[in-house]
């Protein structure tokens, strides 16, 4: 998976550059001044929910291939909300996960719970896109970011009133957690072997700062 992660990151950087050449960073910043899309607190939703479940909309994955190629983002995410999900996670990567930014937009317009943009975020540009598309939160993957990037992206997201779900895979990534990170996810899946070990969440939760809302991911 480390090789897959490197491949995804390299491809994502090219994708971001192409998007910037089409719609500039400054244009997105300008559009933000008139953005009135509602934001729902992910932290509050998780703490107040009866289920605590973040339901994910994903058409495919690098390891499993297509799961449901023609799944309708609006229909599926509404079903998740009705079934009691606390929040939604919507994949927006096209090449590896079969998603698109429009899936996020459709889901956010159709529900009244937080929607997370699940993406390999490597640039501030993508955080602006998330806000303009109706996301209430973003995912930051520690394995794809330096400590400085994780902290900087978190600060920007919070300035835009977006929550951040910071995803950790092992103990070495604890330093990615800044005082502004109030929601931290622990991914139980090994990035190299794809093996899921639920005990990882129990081990790592002891290392997190007090008061952080912990999310157990994968399995």
Q: Which positions are annotated as active-site residues?
A: 56, 58, 118, 167, 187, 217-218
Helices then strands, counting H and E runs in the chain, come out as 8, 9
Burial label, 193 (beta-carbon count in 10 A; 0-12, 13-18, 19+): exposed
Angle at the Cα of 119 from the Cα atoms of 32 and 105, rounded to 5 degrees: 50
Cβ atoms of 31 and 132 closer than 8 Å:
yes
In 3-state terms, what secondary structure has residue 114? coil
**How far is residue 71 from each of residues 30, 74, 76, 147, 178, measured CA to CA in Å?**
33, 9, 7, 36, 36
> CB neighbours of 195 closer than 8 A, spacing ≥ 6?
189
């Amino acid at each position: 998976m480390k090789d897959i992660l490197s491949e995804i990151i390299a491809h994502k950087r090219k994708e971001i550059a192409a998007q910037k050449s089409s719609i500039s960073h400054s244009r997105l910043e300008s559009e933000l001044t008139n953005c009135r899309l509602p934001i729902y607190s992910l932290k509050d939703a998780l703490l107040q929910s009866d289920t605590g479940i973040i339901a994910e909309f994903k058409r495919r994955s690098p390891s499993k291939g297509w799961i449901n190629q023609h799944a309708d983002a609006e229909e599926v995410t509404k079903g998740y909300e009705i079934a009691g999900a606390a929040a939604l996670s919507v994949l927006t990567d096209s090449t590896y996960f079969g998603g698109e930014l429009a899936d996020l937009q459709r889901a956010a317009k159709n529900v009244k719970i937080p929607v997370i943009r699940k993406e390999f975020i490597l640039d501030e540009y993508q955080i602006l896109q998330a806000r303009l598309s109706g996301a209430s939160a973003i995912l930051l993957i520690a394995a794809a970011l330096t400590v400085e990037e994780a902290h900087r992206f978190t600060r920007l997201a919070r300035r835009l009133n977006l929550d951040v779900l910071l995803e950790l895979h092992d103990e070495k990534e604890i330093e990615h957690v800044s005082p502004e990170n109030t929601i931290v996810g622990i991914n139980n899946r090994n990035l190299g072997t794809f093996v899921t070990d639920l005990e990882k969440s129990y081990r790592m939760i002891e290392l997190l700062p007090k008061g952080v809302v912990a999310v157990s991911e994968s399995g």
